[in-house]
């Protein structure tokens, strides 16, 4: 009997262990917020849109554009950074294509979550304006991100039947794999999103670090221009210019020092201790770290310097020279024959020298009035109004140059449309340098303006990659490997050449 | 009545006493073994008393005894013999080996068996092989000693973590390292730097499913059971001391590097760098600095262990103190530790109740530079040591501000790093307590109840500071910040608790049928508290490392001095119940089965429970009648089949391993910093609510054998391990705002064999020469069976790929074939095998079949002894490892001319006058294309004298009457030489990354005394 008791006792110990087991396997980790409880009211939506904005970045686009085109050359402090892309090697596994693809879809996903959550929230009358504004910004971001993707991944934006990108206007299930839509389908969504945004976003919103109605119009203008729909492009661009005049010569440097918003339609705010306040030599951090490790001036770790051909195109009378070429630069007049070109000719890139005391950190300019002006110039060239003192391409080009040079500039005259487009491209190259435009511009206007990527012979003597014709397949980015891995339907839709 | 009886007793007593006095005499004689050789150290005790002596070195004893008393002769491994003292004064005894004693104890999961009755594949390593080695972590010592256990150490950091894989890599993304259990306590497998290897009694590696399935949730990668030393009951106090001093030095690489003149000449010829500004005479005047001598230095290690063992009738103890101080060969690296251990065993008088406690507390201080292996020219000392230009010298360094002003960062790499040595510090202090207690009670003769509880506590404090006047602080300072620099401090505390309760039934029926059945429950819970802050801004007037006096407060003008704070709480838990049944027939046939149900907190919302099982059996062929006169002392065939699980979804390292990826099943949002630093609400994680256990299905067939009176011993095992439901990043479309999701997809296979063999070539006993040779080997073939993508290929990015039918992380590159004599460009093969200068990385890369895992690895060696002198040698070998030699690629990179040091190989570079060469033109236009080629893939196969030892142990006959029981002195060496094609710094590393901290060559001298 005693023995039985002992056995019984032992099993009680076992049983005690069994009953207390639940706390080991049912653990709710501290600090978790389930997706199902994320958005409960309008304040949550407001917080949500700040998260969505934070997904917008343009540094991968800027860096990729600079390196593959003729904006940069290898710098004296280069330890191998970006040399592959500088040799025009573009690979489906490259970080740039992946970064542009993934961050824009992340922004779209985030916007869709807010749009869907908003359907479940009924705002009070007092909240209605904020609610509308948040929703409008979400639509605008969704449109902007789709358009960014189209710009880099569609072969031809002027062809509505060409393959575009995956259009997403809902929160997808993880198992979903979708094919690319046509450009026309995506444009339709963008257009309807922008129409909504144009009414929902408050007319009184003027902060250029957030989406305003001018943002919506500017995006419409750029999209129309990229599509070759120049009548609309002209209208929208004119609307923006009516609200936001271009920066003057005196304002130009302080605009890039983030001390002035003259001529700014929209820029992404970058500030001390935000999530972009870090180094990233290939995007995703401070913009200036795309070119230099530590500081912009010579000696600050310039692994990329200004391309010699771009430098040669800049006049010292041009205020853009002052801003783009850092004062510390060492200019070798005999660079073309120097035996030590890399060491003797040091062209430090000054555009992103820093702000708020932080080196290399600057706001990312997305839409500027001068781009609108140049879009108008394109529209006029397209309609044959290339010469003349007013309402012509030449007039607008002169207007811009007058705002950049110390003295009034001559009115250009163009022999034909090709020359006009060529000059527009040359002016865009200067006005929008290091802002992520050159690659797309050569792609869409290179043939029409008879321009291509042309590097100075000294910049390409190590890799032989001296030119890149606008017809090259490299002007459309590859659908990145990460998407191909997941999405079998898109594999047959890869862009040509990859 | 009483009086009368007492009277008789008294009388009798008097008689006996008188008789005793009369009959005491001295008995002497010798003791020999079965072959007639003298046996020293045999205990000779008068039965029923504690009076006794031992035989001397010649097997001779002498003892005072009475006629009629009984002498007991006993010696480990031999049958004891009793002899009654008669009239003769000389008694010679021959002892015979005891078959039962010969049976080595085999450590199994929750029990021990003998070599004859074990069904499992396992190897036990004893204290002898772990003691007296200079490695801070015992894991490094295990390397090459166990067939199938592949250990690589890719850092020379004292106490650094090693990669441990048993029979191949069983998971692509999850944990791949074995479970370590120290005295019943499951412990963190990445951190042994605080533990004293000299406390270890034995290490048992459990390999097949029969052995590990019972560990269910944690047994998928094998199990290593460590037992620490204990005292024996009824033993005298024994004190022993071991002291070792070691000298470590860099294992040099085999690159031919430029001296200053060659480097400056190259710069001048190429047109980049300092050389371009110098005349011949100026170049000739430069001295050459070997920066490896500046950043690396001989490291001295002191290692002291004092241990005390003793035992009474019911209690025994083992206590040890250890002090260890190792200087790393790299500047600013080192480890100091203090250990204390106390193990107690106890039992009741009737032997029914047994208990044991194991307690060790360890404190270590670790200096560990970070950024090692990175390309950070201002942080990685190793980069400075290997790559720096030789024409600078340490005298060129003044201070950080000057370096900032100078620019030329790449060329000034060594000076930046000298500045860092002066201005940066990083230390980790750790308190580690491992404690366990076990108790068992025999309820009846056949039924025993047991319980074990254990805890693994680690508290780590890390300090890191970059001084305000350092190059890095000044360089990265915001404009106007005159007090830059930072200090951060982090405390990570983890505690893991494990409780195991079991009941066991063991009975032998009809003498031949033995049944052993057990039931268990196991409960595991772990907690993590992590807190850290970073102070930005240090005032140089008052700053001192580790102290807060120099902290600069935040101000209203800017946000430069805003501190960052973070804090984490995490919990983890597992619960299981399981059973084991074992049947033996007459020590001839055996059959075991285990089954286990496991629940993990990681899958609490998906597939919480997993079931794992195994069956195993054996046939002791040598026990059959027909084998009776054979040469086999043991011949046993084993087989097992079973499953084990892995719930460590993410291969996190160290203290965070238990807590990583705790709820990947959930969709989560997070609050935190959003746009422009404002608060925001954003998606943090997309969940996968179908996650479940990764399962390893293993089968194993093995043969254990002992021949020729055990002179030849060994075992051979063939295995196959298939990992199913692999944890992989299953790609998902980027429209989900992520590109992959952790999921259970795919299958991986490892198959191969392992063997170990030892042969006593010469066997002469203690008085003569003995030589034993041994060999250990493993062949393992990895194959990816199934992948989540339809075409069976997953590109990892970079130059590796996963492919169905290929090994893990196979190199995927185009083939480099040489230099074009026409123009000095590189030549490659395209996908069709045609020569091209412009291969396309998207279409011309091919599967190479090569990767970084070995096909064959193991060791061979010998042990010899002669009259107290002993020698040991262990050679390790690895075959089938291919790595990128990125160090070399840096040494011949023309883009780095003017910045770093180069190889003299560049003197052979193509020029119009030197067209037939293996080095491309320095201005080859397609140089950048070699990034996706096999140009720098090299074999890293090696044969290395991993360990050699020479020593003398004073024979016991000389120690008689000295009070000492052991006196021993030795010299040993680790990594003495390596034969390899690999040119780089350490052939052993399992990593292609350049500029890593190589493992050192170590020479030690030591001695051991006991009394």
Confidence of residue A20 (pLDDT cuts 50, 70, 90): low
Confidence of residue A13 (pLDDT cuts 50, 70, 90): low
Hey, are the CB atoms on B735 and A178 less than 8 Å from each other? yes
For residues B537 and B564, the answer to whether their CB atoms sit within 8 Å is no
The Cα A392–Cα A414 span in angstroms is 11
For residues B676 and B247, the answer to whether their CB atoms sit within 8 Å is no
The Cα B146–Cα B636 span in angstroms is 20
Hey, are the CB atoms on B680 and A47 less than 8 Å from each other? yes
Hey, are the CB atoms on B480 and A38 less than 8 Å from each other? no
Name residues 519-558 of chain B within 8 A of A (Cβ). 519, 521, 523-525, 558
Would you call B731 helix, strand, or coil by DSSP?
A: strand
Name residues 300-359 of chain A within 8 A of B (Cβ). 300-301, 339-343, 354, 356-359
Confidence of residue B103 (pLDDT cuts 50, 70, 90): low
Q: Mention every residue, 6+ apart, whose C-beta is less than 8 A from residue B607.
A: B690, B691, B692, B693
| B517 close contact with A: CB closer than 8 A | no
The Cα A393–Cα A234 span in angstroms is 12
User: Which neighbouring-strand residues pair with B502?
Assistant: B450, B520
> First vs last Cα of chain B: how many Å apart?
54
| A259 close contact with B: CB closer than 8 A | no
Nearest to B480 by CA among B404, B400, B549, B557: B557
Top pLDDT among B605 and B464 is at B464
Give the residue from chain B lying closest to A465, CA to CA. Answer: B925
Specify the DSSP element, H or E, that contains B91: none
For residues A321 and A379, the answer to whether their CB atoms sit within 8 Å is no
The Cα A420–Cα B567 span in angstroms is 60
pLDDT of residue B2: 46
Task: Give the distance, in angstroms, between the CA of residue A461 and the centroid of all CA atoms in the same chain.
Answer: 30
The Cα B769–Cα B766 span in angstroms is 8
Tokens (6 digits) for A314: 């800049």
Cite the DSSP H helix spans in A308-368: 308-313, 319-324, 341-344
Confidence of residue B77 (pLDDT cuts 50, 70, 90): low
For residues B812 and B795, the answer to whether their CB atoms sit within 8 Å is yes
Task: Calculate the dihedral angle through the C-alpha atoms of A397, A400, A404, A409, rounding to the nearest 10 degrees.
Answer: 50
Is the pLDDT at B152 greater than 50? The verdict is: yes
Give the residue from chain A lying closest to B923, CA to CA. Answer: A462
> First vs last Cα of chain A: how many Å apart?
82
| B505 close contact with A: CB closer than 8 A | no
Tokens (6 digits) for A233: 């492009």
Block residue for tokens 């893939």? B937
Chain B residues in contact with A486 by the CB 8 A cut-off are 730-734, 739-740
Name residues 324-353 of chain B within 8 A of A (Cβ). none
Confidence of residue B515 (pLDDT cuts 50, 70, 90): very high
The Cα B845–Cα B799 span in angstroms is 9
pLDDT of residue B5: 45
Tokens (6 digits) for A58: 């343009």
Would you call B300 helix, strand, or coil by DSSP?
A: strand
Name residues 366-405 of chain B within 8 A of A (Cβ). 375, 377, 405
Nearest to B243 by CA among B361, B161, B325, B151: B325
The sign of the dihedral angle between the CA atoms of A130, A136, A142, A148 is negative
Chain B residues in contact with A20 by the CB 8 A cut-off are 523
> Model confidence over B744-784: pLDDT tens digits?
888 999 999 999 999 999 988 777 899 999 999 999 999 99
pLDDT of residue B21: 44
Integer-rounded Cα Rg, in Å, for chain A is 26
The Cα A251–Cα A261 span in angstroms is 9
| A274 close contact with B: CB closer than 8 A | yes
Hey, are the CB atoms on B842 and A91 less than 8 Å from each other? yes
Give the residue from chain B lying closest to A497, CA to CA. Answer: B842
User: Which neighbouring-strand residues pair with B717?
Assistant: B702, B754
Nearest-by-Cβ selection for A271 from B499, B676, B740 = B676
Is the pLDDT at A120 greater than 50? The verdict is: yes
Nearest to B753 by CA among B808, B714, B712: B714
Is the pLDDT at B79 greater than 80? The verdict is: no
Return the ∠ at Cα B876 (arms to B125 and B169), rounded to 5°: 75
| B823 close contact with A: CB closer than 8 A | no
For residues A217 and A191, the answer to whether their CB atoms sit within 8 Å is no
pLDDT of residue B20: 41
Block residue for tokens 């000294």? A458
Mean pLDDT value across chain B = 87
Mutate to test the interface with B, among A174, A339, A478, A488 (most CBs of B within 10 A): A174
The Cα B431–Cα B428 span in angstroms is 10
> Model confidence over A130-143: pLDDT tens digits?
999 999 999 999 99
Residues A322-347: what's their mean pLDDT?
92
Nearest-by-Cβ selection for A357 from B560, B599, B899 = B560
- Integer angstrom CA distances of residue B620 from B98, B119, B907: 19, 10, 67
Is the pLDDT at B14 greater than 60? The verdict is: no
Rounded to a whole number of angstroms, the distance from the CA of A20 to the nearest CA of chain B is 9
Query: Of A82-96, B23-37, B744-758, where does mean pLDDT reach its minimum?
Result: B23-37
Integer-rounded Cα Rg, in Å, for chain B is 33
| Percentage of chain A exceeding pLDDT 90 | 79
Rounded to a whole number of angstroms, the distance from the CA of A8 to the nearest CA of chain B is 10
Tokens (6 digits) for B70: 């009984």
Nearest-by-Cβ selection for B925 from A31, A298, A464 = A464
For residues A386 and A392, the answer to whether their CB atoms sit within 8 Å is yes
The Cα B285–Cα B260 span in angstroms is 9
Mutate to test the interface with A, among B669, B790, B813 (most CBs of A within 10 A): B669
Is the pLDDT at B8 greater than 70? The verdict is: no
The Cα A290–Cα A270 span in angstroms is 15
Hey, are the CB atoms on B676 and A209 less than 8 Å from each other? yes
Give the residue from chain B lying closest to A146, CA to CA. Answer: B735
pLDDT of residue B710: 85
> Model confidence over A183-211: pLDDT tens digits?
999 999 999 999 999 999 999 999 999 99
Kindly write down the DSSP assignment for every residue of A175-235, as one continuous string. T---PPPBHHHHHHHHHHHHHHHHHHS-TT---TTS--HHHHHHHHHHHHHHHT-HHHHHH
Chain A residues in contact with B408 by the CB 8 A cut-off are 77, 299
Nearest-by-Cβ selection for A83 from B410, B797, B928 = B928
Q: How long a stretch of residues is chain B?
A: 1011
Q: Mention every residue, 6+ apart, whose C-beta is less than 8 A from residue B4.
A: none
Would you call A319 helix, strand, or coil by DSSP?
A: helix
Hey, are the CB atoms on A273 and B562 less than 8 Å from each other? yes
Chain B residues in contact with A461 by the CB 8 A cut-off are 923, 925
Is the pLDDT at B234 greater than 60? The verdict is: yes
Hey, are the CB atoms on B444 and A3 less than 8 Å from each other? yes
Q: Mention every residue, 6+ apart, whose C-beta is less than 8 A from residue A229.
A: none
User: Which neighbouring-strand residues pair with B330?
Assistant: B296
Task: Calculate the dihedral angle through the C-alpha atoms of A312, A317, A318, A320, rounding to the nearest 10 degrees.
Answer: 80
For residues B191 and B654, the answer to whether their CB atoms sit within 8 Å is yes
Nearest-by-Cβ selection for B478 from A14, A92, A357 = A357
For residues A152 and A105, the answer to whether their CB atoms sit within 8 Å is no
- Integer angstrom CA distances of residue B677 from A47, A106, A258, A352: 12, 19, 17, 20
Confidence of residue B53 (pLDDT cuts 50, 70, 90): confident
User: Which neighbouring-strand residues pair with A367?
Assistant: A266
Mutate to test the interface with B, among A2, A26, A27 (most CBs of B within 10 A): A27
Hey, are the CB atoms on B571 and A44 less than 8 Å from each other? no
The Cα A188–Cα B1003 span in angstroms is 75
> Model confidence over B946-984: pLDDT tens digits?
999 999 988 877 887 888 888 999 999 999 999 999 998
pLDDT of residue A14: 52
The Cα B281–Cα B278 span in angstroms is 8
Residues A33-38: what's their mean pLDDT?
90
Pairing of strands B93-94, B24-32: parallel
Chain A residues in contact with B667 by the CB 8 A cut-off are 34-36
Rounded to a whole number of angstroms, the distance from the CA of A277 to the nearest CA of chain B is 10
Name residues 398-457 of chain A within 8 A of B (Cβ). none
| B300 close contact with A: CB closer than 8 A | no
Hey, are the CB atoms on B673 and A275 less than 8 Å from each other? yes
| A496 close contact with B: CB closer than 8 A | no
| B740 close contact with A: CB closer than 8 A | yes
The Cα B887–Cα B942 span in angstroms is 18
The Cα B410–Cα A76 span in angstroms is 9
pLDDT of residue B810: 93
Return the ∠ at Cα A191 (arms to A189 and A197), rounded to 5°: 100
The Cα B411–Cα B414 span in angstroms is 8
DSSP B160: -
Is the pLDDT at B731 greater than 80? The verdict is: yes
- Integer angstrom CA distances of residue A432 from A320, A373, A393: 10, 12, 17
User: Which neighbouring-strand residues pair with B942?
Assistant: B878, B980
DSSP B396: G
| A1 close contact with B: CB closer than 8 A | no
Q: Angle between the A417-431 and A438-449 helix axes, to the nearest 10 degrees?
A: 160
Confidence of residue B656 (pLDDT cuts 50, 70, 90): confident
Give the residue from chain A lying closest to B661, CA to CA. Answer: A29
């Amino acid at each position: 009997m005693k023995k039985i008791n002992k056995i019984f006792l032992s099993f009680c110990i076992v049983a005690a262990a069994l009953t207390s087991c639940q706390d080991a396997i049912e653990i709710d980790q501290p600090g978790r917020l389930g997706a199902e409880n994320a958005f409960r009211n309008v304040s949550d939506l407001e917080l949500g849109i700040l998260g969505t904005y934070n997904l917008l970045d343009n540094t991968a686009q800027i860096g990729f554009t600079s390196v593959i085109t003729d904006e940069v050359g290898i710098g004296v402090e280069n330890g191998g950074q970006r040399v592959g892309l500088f040799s025009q090697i573009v690979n489906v596994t490259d970080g740039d294509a992946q970064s542009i693809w993934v961050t824009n879809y992340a922004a779209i996903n985030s916007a869709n979550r807010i749009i869907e959550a908003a359907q479940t929230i009924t705002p009070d009358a007092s909240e209605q304006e904020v609610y509308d504004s948040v929703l409008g910004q979400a639509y605008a971001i969704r449109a902007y991100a789709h358009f960014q993707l189209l710009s880099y991944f569609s072969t031809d934006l002027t062809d509505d039947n060409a393959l575009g990108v995956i259009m997403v206007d809902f929160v997808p299930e993880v198992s979903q794999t979708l094919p690319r839509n046509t450009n026309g389908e995506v444009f339709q969504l963008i257009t309807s999103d922008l129409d909504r945004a144009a009414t929902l976003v408050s007319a009184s919103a003027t902060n250029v670090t957030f989406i305003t109605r001018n943002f919506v119009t500017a995006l419409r203008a750029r999209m129309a221009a990229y599509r070759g729909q120049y009548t609309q492009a002209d209208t929208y661009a004119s609307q923006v210019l009516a609200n936001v005049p271009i920066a003057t010569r005196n304002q130009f440097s302080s605009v890039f020092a983030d001390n002035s918003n003259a001529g700014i339609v929209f820029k992404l705010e970058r500030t001390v201790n935000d999530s972009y306040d870090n180094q990233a030599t290939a995007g995703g951090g401070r913009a200036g770290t795309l070119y230099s490790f530590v500081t912009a001036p010579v000696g600050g770790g310039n692994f990329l310097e200004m391309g010699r051909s771009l430098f040669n195109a800049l006049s010292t009378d041009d205020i853009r020279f002052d801003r783009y070429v850092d004062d510390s630069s060492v200019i070798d007049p005999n660079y073309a024959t120097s035996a030590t070109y890399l060491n003797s000719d040091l062209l430090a890139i000054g555009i992103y020298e820093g702000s708020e005391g932080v080196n290399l950190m600057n706001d990312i300019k997305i839409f500027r009035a001068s781009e609108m002006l140049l879009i108008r110039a394109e529209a006029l060239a397209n309609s044959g109004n290339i010469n003349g003192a007013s309402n012509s391409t030449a007039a607008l080009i002169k207007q811009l140059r007058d705002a950049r040079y110390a003295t009034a500039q001559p009115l250009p005259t163009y022999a034909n449309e090709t020359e006009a487009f060529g000059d527009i491209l040359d002016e865009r190259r200067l006005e929008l340098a290091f802002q992520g435009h050159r690659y797309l511009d050569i792609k869409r206007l290179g043939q029409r303006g008879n321009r291509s990527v042309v590097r100075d012979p000294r910049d390409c003597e190590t890799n032989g990659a001296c030119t890149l014709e606008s017809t090259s397949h490299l002007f459309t980015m590859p659908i990145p490997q990460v998407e191909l891995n997941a999405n079998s339907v898109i594999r047959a839709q890869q862009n040509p050449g990859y | 009545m009483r009086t009368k009886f007492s009277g008789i007793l008294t009388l009798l007593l008097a008689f006996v006493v008188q008789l005793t006095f009369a009959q005491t005499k001295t008995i002497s004689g010798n003791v020999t073994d079965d072959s007639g050789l003298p046996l020293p150290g045999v205990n000779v005790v008068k039965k029923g008393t504690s009076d006794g002596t031992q035989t001397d070195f010649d097997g001779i004893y002498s003892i005072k005894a009475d006629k009629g008393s009984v002498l007991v002769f006993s010696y480990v491994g031999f049958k004891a013999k009793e002899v009654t003292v008669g009239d003769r004064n000389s008694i010679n005894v021959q002892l015979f080996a005891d078959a039962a004693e010969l049976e080595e104890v085999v450590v199994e999961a929750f029990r021990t068996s003998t070599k004859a009755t074990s069904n499992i594949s396992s190897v036990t390593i004893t204290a002898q092989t772990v003691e007296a080695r200079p490695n801070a972590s015992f894991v490094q010592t295990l390397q090459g000693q166990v067939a199938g256990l592949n250990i690589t150490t890719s850092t020379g950091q004292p106490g650094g973590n090693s990669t441990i894989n048993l029979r191949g890599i069983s998971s692509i993304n999850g944990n791949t390292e074995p479970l370590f259990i120290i005295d019943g306590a499951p412990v963190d497998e990445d951190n042994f730097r605080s533990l004293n290897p000299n406390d270890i009694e034995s290490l048992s590696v459990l390999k097949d499913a029969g052995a590990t399935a019972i560990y269910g949730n944690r047994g998928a990668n094998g199990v290593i059971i460590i037992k620490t030393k204990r005292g024996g009951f009824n033993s005298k106090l024994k004190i022993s001391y071991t002291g070792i001093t070691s000298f470590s030095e860099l294992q040099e690489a085999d690159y031919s590097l430029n001296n200053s003149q060659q480097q400056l000449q190259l710069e001048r010829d190429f047109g980049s760098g300092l050389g371009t500004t110098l005349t011949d005479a100026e170049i000739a005047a430069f001295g050459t600095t070997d920066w490896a001598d500046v950043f690396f230095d001989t490291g001295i290690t002191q290692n002291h262990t004092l241990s005390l063992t003793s035992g009474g009738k019911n209690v025994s103890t083992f206590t040890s103190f250890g002090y260890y101080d190792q200087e790393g060969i790299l500047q600013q690296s080192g480890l100091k530790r203090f250990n204390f251990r106390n193990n107690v065993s106890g039992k009741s008088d009737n032997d029914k109740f047994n208990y044991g406690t194991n307690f060790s507390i360890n404190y270590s201080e670790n200096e560990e530079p970070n950024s090692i292996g990175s390309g950070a020219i201002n942080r990685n000392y190793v980069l400075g040591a290997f790559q720096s230009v030789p024409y600078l010298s340490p005298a060129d360094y003044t201070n950080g501000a000057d370096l900032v002003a100078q620019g030329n960062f790449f060329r000034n790499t060594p000076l930046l790093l000298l500045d860092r040595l002066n201005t940066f510090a990083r230390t980790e202090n750790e308190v580690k307590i491992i404690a366990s207690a076990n108790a068992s009670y025999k309820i009846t003769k056949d039924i025993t109840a047991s319980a074990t509880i254990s805890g693994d506590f680690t508290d780590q404090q890390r300090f890191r500071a970059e001084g305000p006047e350092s190059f890095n602080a000044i360089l990265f300072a915001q404009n106007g910040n005159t007090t830059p620099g930072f200090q951060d401090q982090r405390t990570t505390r983890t505690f893991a608790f494990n409780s195991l309760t079991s009941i066991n039934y063991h009975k032998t029926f009809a003498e031949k049928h033995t049944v052993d059945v057990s039931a268990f429950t196991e409960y595991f819970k772990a907690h993590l508290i992590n807190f850290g802050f970073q102070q930005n801004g240090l005032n140089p007037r008052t700053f001192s490392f580790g102290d807060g006096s120099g902290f600069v407060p935040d101000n209203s003008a800017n946000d430069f001095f805003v501190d960052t704070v973070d804090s984490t709480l995490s919990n983890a838990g597992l619960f299981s119940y399981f059973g084991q049944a074992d049947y033996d027939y007459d020590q001839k046939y055996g059959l075991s089965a285990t089954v286990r149900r496991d629940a993990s907190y990681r899958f609490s919302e998906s597939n919480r429970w997993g079931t794992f099982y195994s069956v195993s059996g054996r046939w002791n062929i040598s026990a059959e009648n027909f084998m009776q006169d054979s040469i086999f002392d043991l011949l046993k065939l084993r087989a097992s089949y079973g499953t084990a699980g892995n719930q460590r979804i993410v291969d996190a390292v160290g203290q965070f391993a238990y807590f990583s990826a705790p709820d990947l099943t959930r969709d989560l949002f997070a609050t935190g910093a959003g746009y422009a630093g404002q608060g925001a609400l954003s998606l943090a994680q997309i969940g996968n609510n179908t996650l479940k256990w990764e399962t390893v299905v293993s089968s194993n067939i093995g043969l254990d054998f002992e021949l020729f009176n055990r002179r030849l011993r060994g075992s051979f095992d063939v295995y196959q391990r298939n990992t199913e439901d692999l944890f992989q990043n299953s790609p998902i479309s980027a429209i989900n705002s992520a590109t992959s999701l952790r999921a259970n997809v795919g299958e991986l296979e490892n198959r191969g064999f392992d063997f170990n063999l030892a042969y006593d070539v010469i066997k002469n006993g203690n008085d003569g020469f003995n030589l034993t040779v041994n060999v250990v080997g493993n062949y393992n073939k990895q194959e990816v069976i199934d992948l989540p993508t339809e075409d069976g290929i997953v590109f990892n990015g970079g130059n590796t790929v996963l492919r169905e039918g290929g090994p893990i992380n196979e190199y995927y590159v185009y083939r480099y074939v040489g230099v074009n004599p026409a123009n000095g460009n590189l030549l490659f093969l395209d996908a069709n095998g045609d020569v091209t200068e412009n291969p396309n990385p998207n279409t011309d890369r091919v599967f190479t079949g090569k990767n970084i895992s070995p096909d064959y690895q193991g060791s061979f060696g010998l042990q010899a002894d002669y009259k107290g002198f002993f020698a040991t040698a262990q050679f390790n070998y690895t075959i089938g490892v291919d790595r990128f030699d990125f160090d070399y690629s840096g040494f011949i990179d023309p883009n780095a001319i003017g910045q770093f040091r180069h190889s003299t190989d560049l003197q052979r570079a193509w020029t119009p006058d030197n067209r037939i060469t293996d080095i491309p033109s320095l201005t080859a236009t397609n140089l950048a294309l070699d990034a996706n080629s096999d140009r720098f893939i090299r074999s890293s196969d090696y044969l290395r004298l991993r360990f050699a030892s020479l020593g003398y142990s004073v024979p016991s006959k000389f120690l008689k009457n000295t009070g000492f029981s052991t006196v021993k002195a030795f010299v040993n060496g680790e990594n003495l030489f390596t034969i390899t094609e690999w040119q780089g710094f350490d052939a052993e590393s399992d990593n292609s990354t350049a500029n890593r901290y190589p493992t050192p060559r170590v020479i030690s001298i030591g001695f051991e005394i006991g009394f």
